[in-house]
Structures are given as structure tokens and as C-alpha cells.
Amino acid sequence: MKDTYLSLVNGPLKQVAKSLGLPQPVELNRFDSTPEEYLNRPVLVLGAGDGAQGLADLLLDNGLEVRRNAQTGEKVRAVIAVLDDAQSPTDLSPIVLEVGAALRSLVPSGRVITISTAPGAGDQSPEQAAAIQGITGFTRSLAHEMRAGATANGILLDGVDLTAPSVASALWFLLSGKSAYVSGQFLTVASDAGDRLDLKAFMSTGAAGPLAGRSAVVTGAARGIGAAIARNLARDGAEVIGVDMPQAGQALAAVMNEIGGKSLQLDITGADAAEEIAEAVGAPVDILVHNAGITRDKMLANMDSSRWDSVIAVNIAAQAKINAHLAEAGLFANGAQVVSLASTSGIAGNRGQTNYATSKAGVIGLTAASAQDFASRGGSINAVAPGFIETDMTAKMPTLTRQVARRLSSLQQGGHPIDVAEAISFLASSGARGINGQTLRVCGQNMVGA
């Protein structure tokens, strides 16, 4: 759905909005709309340790222009603060203040990325733990201060160093337009699993894309976020099998014909759903995206068993059953990756959505508990939790509620289905296998919406 206000404040009402102190969201730089001028700007890498220099060398090796110190008057596309050697809260001051001084040099839709040890990783003294946890608070708070479409996110190292393959992939994701609607979030790299993708491979499409040669099953692929996911996986090189209910068959066929995929009309709650999926793929499944979901909103006092049970059956029970069957039958490929759709409702709750929030919180729990099993087969399982995304569902919200939900995010706008799809394509890539059992919010740092 078009955000008319966003268009107006970037056009005829720009000065009016500024003079009245109204929200001034900007059009975000996404994968296919990032100007070349932006891409040619340098990246500022801050930090005194060997890790910071190693990261700067990685960026240089991938064709990026790098600065180790801010240059007077020079604009930068990103500021990366490497804080992996912090031993106490007092160690943070020099670098975080350098970050603050560099913010005015950041171009619109710029990036700030912190890299630090994960809270709880290894043996940490109380002072070190305080510093490490402090970095998360710093990054999230800074994300709320960003302006003009800029974001702040973090990469956490849990038992790995900066050379882990998924550190590079996480960095490419957070630096790029693929993470346009991700802010105030953290990606934890906890193993050396995964392929080492250079920036060119990560940003390539089609036969050269990061998903080339792999099969990808997407449930609920006929419309909305599911259709965007299917298109994005195909863009990145995957062979897509779209799954949806028979009544959505025509819409599903249209999407699959568009991307050269295969349609599978199927009720995922059916007893033979997993077998039918595997048969349609014709080989062990490489990528499985659990997108299918329903809402049956009602205040709990008025909730009946059909509303409750149907949401649980589609949104979480079917996922658990399909995952278990494919694993037990050996129908997941070696290195298979699963990405499930959770929701910010499953994190923060939402009035009138006890059934939906229960199911989406269940997705988060299932994902975390399944990580070890997928890692044992060389793969991963993660979840993506969208916030307010411009879909047919949010278009039905009352106008005032919709406007408030848009402006409450740090980016002062709703996300697009492509923003969710980009996060899923990233987590489904071979370079992200060191990220496992996690839930990544795609919400513009907002907890409103489904």
C-alpha cells in the first residue's frame, strides 16, 4: 500500500513538514534503488585492535574504499565500530565518542555497525560482561537517534573471531540495501560454519547469485510477503517451489509462472504435507521457508476453539510436523536451511491476538530449540519477525491507527514485503550458516503490528 504522507514530505510538503516539526521519513535505499554515488562513498572503520585492521583489510579486498580515521568534510556511507576487545565499560568511551563525532558525516540511508563479543560468550569477568552488554544498549539507543533513513545494528561474536564466514555475510547484509528496514538488531555468529562469500557473490543475482543451484520451498507463496519471498529467492538463483491452498491456485500459478517456479497446491496442515513437499522437489530440500500463516483475531474472552485451534495448526503445529518428518525421513539436504516467519506480536504481544501471538512466539521457541539438530547436518534454522509491513492486512487497519504505526518506528515508515524477503534470502544463504537458532526482527525498530 502506498504511503502518501511519505511521498508528500519528500515532495511538495517537505518545507512545511520541516517547519512544523512533523516526521520526515525518507525513501530508503533498497537493493535495486541504491544510487551509485552512495556505493562509492568510503566506509569508516573505528577501533584500535588487530580485529579492526583485519576488518578494514576485508573491506579493501572487496573493493570498498576505507578510512581508518575521519576526514574533515568527507561524507561516508557507513561507520563500523569494532569493539571486540572491550574489557570494561571505560574501554568504550574513545570509540563510541568517535562514532558520535562521525554521525554528521553519514549520508542519508547510511549505516552504523558495531562488532563485539556476544553477551554470555565464554568466560567473562563482571567488568567485561558489563561492557559487552553495554554495547547492545548503546547500539539500540543509537538506532533510535538515526535520521534520514540511516540505521544502526550489531554483529555479535559467540566463540568465533572476525574471520568466521558468517561475519562477512552479516556485514555485507547490514551494509547493503537488503537490510533497509532492519535497525537496532543484532546478528550473532556462533560457529565457523558456512561458505565464505565475497561481496560480489553476495550481491549477485540469477545463476551467479548466492542461492544458485539450490531448491527453495516457500509456503503461502501466492500473495503478499510470500510472493515477495518467492520472487526474491528466485532473483538470488534458487529454484522455487511455491506452496499454497487450492483456492489460491490461480494466484500461486501466476507468481510461479513469473519466476519460472513450480506450483504445489497443498494444505500444509494435512497429514501427508511433508511427503507431498518432498515429492514436488524431487530431491532433498535445500531451503524451506515457512511463511504460511493466518489470523483469527478476537479478544480472549470471546475466543472460541475454532479460532484458536486453526491459528495454532497453521502457524506453528504444521511447521513443527513438516520439519520433523523431513528430518526423520532424511529429506533435508546436507546443509539445509529453514527460515520461519515469526512476528513482533510473538515478542511484544498484541491486543486481540492471543492466539496469533502464541503461535508466533512458538515459532521463535521452535527455531531456537531446533538449532542444534540442523547444525548437526551442516545447516541452520532461523526466524524473521516482521513488524508493520505494508500488506493487504495492514491496509485494512483504521487510517489513524495505520499512520501512527508507520511513524512509531525509528525509520518513521512501514516496511515493504521485499524487506522481509531480503532478510529471508540472507538467512537462507550458505554464507549465513554460522547464524543459527535466532530471530531477526524486520520492523524498523518498532514493535507495532503483526
Residue range 240-265: mean pLDDT, rounded: 97
Residues 99, 155 share a domain:
yes
Question: Inter-axis angle of helices 354-376 and 305-312, to 10 degrees?
Answer: 20
Residues 105, 44 share a domain:
yes
301, HSE (Cβ side, Cα atoms, 13 Å):
1
State the chain's mean pLDDT as an integer. 93
Give φ, ψ of 115 to 5 degrees.
Answer: -125, 120
pLDDT of amino acid 323? 97
Helices (H), 62-196: 93-102, 126-145, 165-175
- 307: cell is 479460532
Residue range 396-417: mean pLDDT, rounded: 81
Q: Is residue 269 part of a domain?
A: yes
Among 128, 157, 189, identify where a domain stops. 189
pLDDT band at 422 (very low <50, low <70, confident <90, very high): very high
Residue range 72-88: mean pLDDT, rounded: 95
Helices (H), 220-353: 224-235, 249-259, 273-281, 305-312, 318-328, 345-348
pLDDT of amino acid 22? 74
Q: Does pLDDT of 13 surpass 90? A: no
Q: Is residue 247 part of a domain?
A: yes
pLDDT band at 8 (very low <50, low <70, confident <90, very high): confident
Residues 246, 141 share a domain:
no
Question: What order of strands is seen across the sheet that includes strand 106-117?
Answer: 66-67, 43-46, 76-82, 106-117, 151-157, 186-189
Residues 273, 177 share a domain:
no
pLDDT band at 266 (very low <50, low <70, confident <90, very high): very high
Bridge partners, residue 44, by sequence? 67, 79
Q: Does pLDDT of 329 surpass 50? A: yes
Task: Give the predicted TM-score (pTM) of the model.
Answer: 0.94
Residues 429, 343 share a domain:
yes
pLDDT of amino acid 372? 97
Choose among 410, 360, 386, 408: nearest CA to 183.
410
Residues 212, 184 share a domain:
no
pLDDT of amino acid 358? 97
pLDDT of amino acid 395? 65
Residues 415, 338 share a domain:
yes
Q: Does pLDDT of 350 surpass 90? A: no
Residue range 60-81: mean pLDDT, rounded: 96
Q: How far apart are CA 246 and CA 263, in angstroms?
A: 10
Residues 163, 119 share a domain:
yes
Q: How far apart are CA 426 and CA 201, in angstroms?
A: 12
Q: Does pLDDT of 450 surpass 50? A: no
**Which of residues 392 and 171 earns the better pLDDT score?**
171
Residues 175, 111 share a domain:
yes
- 184: cell is 537496532
**Largest Cα–Cα distance in the chain?**
65
Bridging pattern class, strands 106-117 and 262-265:
unpaired
pLDDT of amino acid 30? 96
The full DSSP string for 413-441 is S-B-HHHHHHHHHHHTSGGGTTS-S-EEE
Q: Is residue 11 part of a domain?
A: no
Residue 281 belongs to what domain range? Answer: 206-442
Q: Does pLDDT of 377 surpass 50? A: yes
Q: How far apart are CA 268 and CA 271, in angstroms?
A: 8
Among 189, 215, 247, identify where a domain stops. 189
Active-site residue (options: 5, 38, 181, 356): 356
3-state helix, strand, coil split of the chain in percent (to 5) is: 45, 20, 35
pLDDT band at 446 (very low <50, low <70, confident <90, very high): confident
Q: How far apart are CA 53 and CA 32, in angstroms?
A: 30
Indicate if 356 belongs to the active site. Answer: yes
What CATH number has the domain bearing residue 361? 3.40.50.720
Residue range 318-333: mean pLDDT, rounded: 95
Residues 258, 319 share a domain:
yes
Alpha carbon of 264 to those of 74, 270, 276, 307, 333: distances in Å?
Answer: 53, 13, 9, 26, 20
- 22: cell is 512533523
Q: Is residue 200 part of a domain?
A: no
Residues 113, 222 share a domain:
no
Q: How far apart are CA 206 and CA 381, in angstroms?
A: 24
Which tens digit of pLDDT belongs to each residue from 379-395?
999 999 999 898 777 76
pLDDT of amino acid 397? 67
DSSP label of 389: B
Q: Is residue 13 part of a domain?
A: no
| Residue % of the chain over a pLDDT of 90 | 84
Residue range 406-416: mean pLDDT, rounded: 88
What is the SS3 assignment for 113?
A: strand
Q: Let me know the angle formed at the C-alpha of 421 by 345 and 141, rounded to the nearest 5 degrees.
A: 55
Q: Is residue 69 part of a domain?
A: yes
Residues 408, 306 share a domain:
yes
Among 130, 155, 189, identify where a domain stops. 189
pLDDT band at 20 (very low <50, low <70, confident <90, very high): confident
Number of domains in the chain: 2
The secondary element (H helix, E strand) that includes residue 108 is strand 106-117
Q: Does pLDDT of 447 surpass 70? A: no
Q: Is residue 18 part of a domain?
A: no
